[in-house]
């Protein structure tokens, strides 16, 4: 289905239908997923949501989805895990370097860590299918990169206003540092695997490596425990490091790099 050749009202209705299916799948998966849930069931739930997305594209758009190439599953997810882990380590490292964080080790709880690791996989799959696979992609295919980035990032960021300790600033910060980054990463690679990997590692490393609140929520079992002191604009306050200006600046810089690569590839293709 060519989204540019159908009437706008029909495009809106089909987008709403796709978003509804993605939301239902996301809600069901997040009901199944919990830090105390069974890892095997959570993995099955994540796989089921990916299959639901695949089937939704086949039925609604009448084509095979191009953003779920199996051959890119491991390399793109692995790269995403690396990017997300390094990014969050850099955020915490900069905050510590300016004297606003101290890090201490904690006892390792491998069973709990494994469960939470899979839990954050479910969160990543659910939100990336919804916000990048459906919302970003549909807007991008109809209106282009910039409207897709702006709209999907804003909605993704302000969805977090419902989280504990959230503020308008924390939601704006997530829109800039994470919404833009995940959208640009999706566009750059053309697969859902890269943003899923980034999102997965972003949450796990923040909460369960460094012991920092994830989007205002409890950190849970972690390798380290990070204590913040100093201005909230630097530390992120009760919401966590995602509300830090450090995360915003680093996230915006990484997003800019992805966008630069996208635009350069577009120019080379057109020439």
Arithmetic mean of pLDDT, 30-36: 73
Residues across the chain: 271
Provide the pLDDT confidence category of residue 153 given band limits of 50, 70 and 90: very high
Q: What is the dihedral of CA 209, 213, 219, 225, to 10 degrees?
A: 50
Q: Could you give the angle at the alpha carbon of 255 between the alpha carbons of 63 and 153, nearest 5°? A: 60
> What is the mean pLDDT of the segment spanning 190-199?
98
Q: What is the pLDDT of residue 248?
A: 97
Angle, nearest 10°, between helix axes 73-97 and 180-189?
150
When comparing pLDDT for 33 and 53, which is higher? 53
Task: Give the residue from 66, 202, 72 showing the smallest Cα distance to 133.
Answer: 66
Give residue 30's pLDDT band: very low, low, confident or very high (50, 70, 90).
Answer: confident
Burial class (CB in 10 A: 0-12, 13-18, 19+), 174: buried
**pLDDT score for 5:** 73
What does the alpha-carbon distance between residue 181 and residue 199 come to, in Å, rounded to a whole number?
Answer: 10
State the DSSP string of 208-230: IIS---BTTB---S-SEEEEE-S
Say what the pLDDT of residue 158 is: 93
Q: What's the confidence (pLDDT) of residue 246?
A: 97
Q: What is the mean pLDDT of residues 64-73?
A: 94
What is the average per-residue pLDDT within 131-153? 96
Q: Are 170 and 239 in contact (CB under 8 A)?
A: yes
Q: What is the pLDDT of residues 106-125, one digit of tens each?
A: 887 777 888 899 999 999 99
Q: Alpha carbon of 67 to those of 91, 150, 210: distances in Å?
A: 29, 21, 32
SS3 content of the chain, % helix, strand, coil (to 5): 75, 5, 20
- Across 65-74, average pLDDT: 95
pLDDT of 37 above 80: no
* pLDDT score of 264: 93
Q: What is residue 9's predicted lDDT score, i.e. its pLDDT?
A: 86
Res. 35: pLDDT tops 70:
no
Per-residue model confidence (pLDDT) at position 220: 77
Reported confidence tier of residue 268, pLDDT bands at 50, 70, 90? confident
Q: Is 101 exposed, middle or buried (0-12, 13-18, 19+ CB in 10 A)?
A: buried
Instruction: Quote the pLDDT of residue 34.
Output: 72
80, exposed or middle or buried, with CB in 10 Å at 0-12, 13-18, 19+?
Answer: buried
94: pLDDT strictly greater than 80: yes
| Domain boundaries, given as residue ranges, for the chain | 8-270
Q: Which residue has the higher pLDDT, 267 or 186?
A: 186
32: pLDDT strictly greater than 80: no
Residue reference for tokens 């199996």: 70
Convert the pLDDT of each residue in 213-265 to its tens digit.
Answer: 898 887 778 888 999 999 999 999 999 999 999 999 999 999 999 999 999 99
pLDDT of residue 88: 97
């Amino acid at each position: 289905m060519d989204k540019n050749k159908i009437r706008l009202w029909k495009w809106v209705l089909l987008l709403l239908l796709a978003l509804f299916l993605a939301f239902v799948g996301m809600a069901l998966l997040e009901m199944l997923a919990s830090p105390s849930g069974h890892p095997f069931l959570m993995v099955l739930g994540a796989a089921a949501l990916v299959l639901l997305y695949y089937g939704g594209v086949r039925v609604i758009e009448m084509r095979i989805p191009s953003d779920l190439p199996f051959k890119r599953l491991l390399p793109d997810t692995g790269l995403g895990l690396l990017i997300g882990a390094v990014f969050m380590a850099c955020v915490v490292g900069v905050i510590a370097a300016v004297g606003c964080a101290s890090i201490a080790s904690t006892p390792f709880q491998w069973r709990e860590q494994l469960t939470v690791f899979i839990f954050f996989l479910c969160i990543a799959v659910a939100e990336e299918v919804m916000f990048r696979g459906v919302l970003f992609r549909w807007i991008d295919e109809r209106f282009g990169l910039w409207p897709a980035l702006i709209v999907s990032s804003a909605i993704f960021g302000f969805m977090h206003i419902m989280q504990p300790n959230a503020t308008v600033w924390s939601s704006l910060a997530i829109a800039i540092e994470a919404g833009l980054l995940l959208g640009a990463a999706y566009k750059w690679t053309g697969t859902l695997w890269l943003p899923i990997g980034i999102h997965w590692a972003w949450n796990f490393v923040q909460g369960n490596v460094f012991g920092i609140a994830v989007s205002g929520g409890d950190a849970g079992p972690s390798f380290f425990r990070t204590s913040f002191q100093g201005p909230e604009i630097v530390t992120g306050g009760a919401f966590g490091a995602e509300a830090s200006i450090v995360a915003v600046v680093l996230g915006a810089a990484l997003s800019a790099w992805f966008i630069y690569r996208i635009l350069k590839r577009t120019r080379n293709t057109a020439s």
